[in-house]
A and B are shown apart, each in its own frame.
Chain A
Amino acid sequence: MKLKKITACVLAATMTASLFAGMGVQAESADPEPFTIGFPWDTANTDPTWISIYNNVKAAVEAAGGELVNVETDNSADGLIDNVSELISRDVDGILFMPASDSMLPTVDAMCADAGVYWGTIFRTISDEDIQEAMYSSDWFAGGCHEDDEACAADIVKSMSEMGVTDLGVINIAKGDTSSDLRDKGAAEGAEEAGVNILNTTYDISVTTDMTKTIESYIAAYPEMNGILVLGTYCEAAIPTIEKALADHNKAGEIKVGRIDFESSLGDYLHEGTFHVSYGGQQQIDPLMSAVILVNKVIGTPIVEEGPTNIITPYLELTSAEEAADFNDYFLGDEAVYTADEIKDSMIKYYNADIDMDYMDKLIATFSIADVVSRHSK
C-alpha cells in the first residue's frame, strides 16, 4: 500500500513539473516565421527509395527555414488519421502525407480545418469527383503533386511491346488505391493499342516471398508469358526478387521485365540485360514539389492564389545501365534532387516573387536525370 502511495506522489510531481516544462521562449528570425511541417512516414522501411522520399521532403521544408516533424505510420487510412491527430496536437503548421484512399480525405480536411492546419498530399490525385470538388474548395488543402499514371502505364506497355513482348504478366499495388487503378487503366489501354495480351494482374504483394511465389506461378501457369510488368508495388527489393525467381527457372533475359517507379538495383540488371525498361524518377521530385507547395501555402505565399496547387510531375525513362548508375548516385543518395539554395531561389515564392504556375511548369519540364547530374556535379 505504501508503495502505491509513493508511486502516486511521484506521478503527481511529474504532472506538476510538466506544467512548467515546455514553456521555452522561441527565437526570432528574419526570414519567414519559423514553421513546422508534419510528415507521417514509415521510417522503419529501409528501402532506398523510401528513404529518399523522406530526404527530399525534409530538404524542401528546411530550405525555407522550417522544421520537419516525423511520425511513424503504416500508411493505412485509420493509421494516417491517428497520425494527423497526433501532428495537430504537436502544433504543426502543415501536414503532408500519402493518402490511402479518397474517402479518408474529408476526415483529414475536417480535422485540419478545426485546428487551422494546412495539408497537402504526395503521389496521389483525387479521383472521386464529389470528394475532389469538396477538397478543392477547402481553404486548408494546399494541393500536391501527382503523375499522369494512366499515360505512364500506357507508354511502358507500348515500349515493352516494341521490345517484342506479346504476353504480359502484371503486378500492381492494390485495387482501390488511386495510382494503382489509374495505372491499371492505362496499361489496359496501352495493351489494346499495341496488341499485347495481359495474362493476369496480382495485387497487394508486400513481402518478397509472396513476390517469388507470384512470379513462379506465372511461369508455371503461362508458358507463353514473355514479359513481366510491375506497375507498382510496396514490396521491398521487388526487382531483385523477380530476377532471382526468373533466373531460378532459366528465364532471365528471356522474359522482358519492366517496372514503373525506379529502384536502386535496376542498373545491375540493365547491365546484365535481364531487366529492360523502367519509368519513374518522380519518387524524388514529387515529394519535394509537394512539400514546396505546402510550404508556400503555410508561409502565406501560395503558388496559386485560388484553390489548391496541383502539379503533374513527369516520369523519366530508364533503359541503360549508365542512366541507372546516375540515378542511384544522384536520386537515391543522401541529397535531395534540388539543393537547398536552388529550392530557396526558384521554388519559394517568399524569396522569388516571379513564381507562379507557369514558372513551376517550366522548371519541371527541365527536370531529367542529366539535369540533376549537371546541377549536382557543379
Chain B
Amino acid sequence: MENSKSFTAAKGGLTKEKFLNNFAFFGLLLVLVLFEILTRGKLLGQRNLMNIFNNFFSIALCAMMYSFVMALGELDLSVGAIVGFSAAMAAFASEISIYLILPVALITGLLIGLINGFATAYLRVESFIGTLAVSFVFRGLTTYFLNGSVGIPIAMRAFDKDWVKIIALLLVLTISYLLYERCAFGKHCRAVGASHEAARQSGVNVQKTRMAAFALVGLVCGLVGFFTLVRACTASSKTGNSFEFDVLLAVLFGGMPLSGGWPVKFRAAVIGSIAMAALKSGMSLIGIDGLTQQVVEGVILIAVVVLSFDRRNAGVIK
C-alpha cells in the first residue's frame, strides 16, 4: 500500500498509474455491477452468494499460495493435476482408514509440489514447461490408478460444511498473508522475482526459496483436493480438471503481473478469486452458453495480461 501511495503521488501520468495499480479493483467492481444488473439482482442474492463462495473457496485457497510462485515470476500449471491426484490418493487411503484422508491428501500435494520445486530450482527447467510436464504425468497416473472413479464413505460429507470451509479459508488466508507480506520468505520470493541474481547476492537462498514456494502451492492443492473429495465423495480422473486455468486467471485478473517481483500484491489473489467466482456465477446466471464463456475468459485473460504488464521491467528493450 505504501508503495502505491508514493507512486500515485507522482504527478506525471497520475490517473493512469492509479488506474493500473487498482485495475483489479475496478475489474471486480465492473463484474459485480454489470452482472448484478444483468441478473436483476440475483448475483448478490443471499442464495447465490453461497454459490459464489463455493466457487471462490477452492480458487482462493490455491490463489493465495500461488502468490509466492507469481512473485517468483514463475507459473505452476500443475495445480489441477495435483488436486486430482491428491484426491485420488486420499480416496484410496480411505479404504484403509478415513482418518488417513486429510493427511494423505496433504502429503501427496506437498510431494508433487516438491517435485515441481526441485525441477524449477535445481534442474533449472522453465517452470511452465516443468509444471506442465508434471501435470501430464500426474493426470496420467490419476487416470491409470483410478480406472474411472473411486468413492469414499458418505459420512465424510460432514466436512463439506460452510463453517469448516470458512475456518480453513481463514487459516490459509492468515498464514499466507503473514508469510507473504510480513515474513522474510515472502520478501525473498519477490526479491528473487525482481532479480534472482541481486537476491542471491543479497544472501537469499534462491533455490530453497523457489522450492518452498512450489511446495506451498502443492500443499494447499492437497487441501483443495481434500475438500473436492469430501464434496463429491468421489475422486475421478476429471477431478481438478482445468483448475490451473481458473487459478491462473484469478491471479492475473487480480492484477498480478507475470513478470513477478515487488509489483505482485497479495490482495490480488483475493480480489481476483472473488472476481473470477462472481464472473463465472454471473455468466451462468444470465445463461451464457459454454462456448461464449470460454471466449469471454480468453478475452479477459489477454486484457489483464496486457494491463498488468510492467513496462519498467522491460526497460532494456529499446
The residues of A with any CB-CB pair to B shorter than 8 Å are 3-4, 7, 10-11, 14-15, 17-22, 24, 42-46, 69-72, 74-82, 85-86, 89-91, 100-104, 106-107, 110, 128, 174-177, 180-181, 203-204
Contacts and interface: CB of A to CB of B under 8 A. Distances in A.
Interface string B265-302: 00000000000000001001101011101100000000
Interface string B223-242: 00000110111111111011
A100 B293 contact: no
Contacts of B103: none
B43 A176 contact: no
Contacts of A103: 149-152, 154, 232-234
Contacts of B26: 7
B22 interface: yes
6 contacts: A14-B33, A22-B45, A76-B236, A101-B236, A103-B152, A103-B232
Contacts of A46: 291
B18 interface: yes
B6 to A, nearest CB: 13
Contacts, number: 156
B32 interface: yes
A44 B290 CA distance: 4
Interface in B153-199: 154, 157, 160
A44 B298 CA distance: 14
Nearest to B29: A7
A113 to B, nearest CB: 12
Interface stretch (B48-56, B200-208, B209-217): B48-56
A3 B33 contact: no
A22 B148 CA distance: 42
Contacts of A91: 47
Given A10-B29, A106-B233, A89 B51 contact: yes
A67 to B, nearest CB: 11
A244 B93 CA distance: 44
Interface in B43-69: 43-45, 47-48, 50-51, 54-55
Interface residues of B, number: 53
Contact of A89 (B18, B48, B160, B234): B48
B241 A22 contact: no
A14 B36 contact: yes
B85 interface: no
B290 A45 contact: yes
B40 interface: yes
Interface string B54-92: 110000000000000000000000000000000000000
Contacts of A72: 284, 289-290, 293
A78 B149 CA distance: 11
B20 to A, nearest CB: 12
B7 to A, nearest CB: 13
B232 A80 contact: yes
A104 B237 contact: no
Interface in B226-265: 228-229, 231-239, 241-242
